[in-house]
A and B are shown apart, each in its own frame.
Chain A
Amino acid sequence: AQSVTQPDIHITVSEGASLELRCNYSYGATPYLFWYVQSPGQGLQLLLKYFSGDTLVQGIKGFEAEFKRSQSSFNLRKPSVHWSDAAEYFCAVYNAGNNRKLIWGLGTSLAVNP
């Protein structure tokens, strides 16, 4: 069955430090992958997506993610974290089967220390 795993429930980093949020997926076909960010009490904002082509994807707010098929991973990175990046981050894979829905990871909560 298709699934998305975000191994880290909670991460704390210092402002200015680099960040990597992990995402592993299980999907039989070519995956369409997404990273979303959710600030407290807010909806979801798309950070970036991967459909095909270059496996290093650039997104908004200085984020990037790298698709590694051999590792079934789509990790999100940012070289220097800002306090405003504190939020919940969700990885998702699109299920192109009959139900055409997104399969979500459980999310990683990011805290940023000043």
Chain B
Amino acid sequence: GAVVSQHPSRVICKSGTSVKIECRSLDFQATTMFWYRQFPKQSLMLMATSNEGSKATYEQGVEKDKFLINHASLTLSTLTVTSAHPEDSSFYICSASFGGYEQYFGPGTRLTVT
């Protein structure tokens, strides 16, 4: 149980375009979802926390207009990278929680902006 999926697993886009990444909890209702960014050989950096039906809470230094997060249902959250640039290339990981201490992680999305 507690499976989280992400789609797509890899995406390549051109500079200036927008990219949407989906995060789904497949077998549970996720009251909270988290979005992380991971640079090569580094730890996870929390970007934002979203609760279903509420606006996301962004971490300091994360541009909310650039990284749009929507948590419209208890099983789906989306991260949209708007007007992507090469420096946005990274590994994006989502996780989901149903209110407890644990987070269940998706497999990640590799974004490459050319």
Interface residues of A, Cβ cutoff 8 Å to B = 32, 34, 36, 41-46, 49, 51, 90, 94, 96, 99-102, 104-107, 109
Given A96-B101, A100-B32, A101-B34, also A90-B43 (CB < 8 A): yes
Question: In the bound complex, how far is the Cα of B93 from the Cα of A49, in angstroms?
Answer: 20
Interface residues, chain B, CB within 8 Å of chain A?
6, 32, 34, 41-44, 46, 49, 57, 91, 93, 95, 101-108, 110
A94 and B41 form a contact (CB under 8 A): no
Q: For A104, list chain B residues within 8 Å (CB).
A: 43-44
Question: Smallest CB-CB separation from A34: which chain B residue?
Answer: B102
Query: By the criterion CB–CB under 8 Å, are B44 and A51 in contact?
Result: no
A101 and B44 within 8 A (CB): no
In the bound complex, do residue A43 and residue B41 qualify as a contact, i.e. CB atoms below 8 Å apart?
Answer: no
Interchain CB contact (< 8 A) of B101 among A32, A99, A109: A32
CB distance from B1 to the nearest CB of A (A): 12
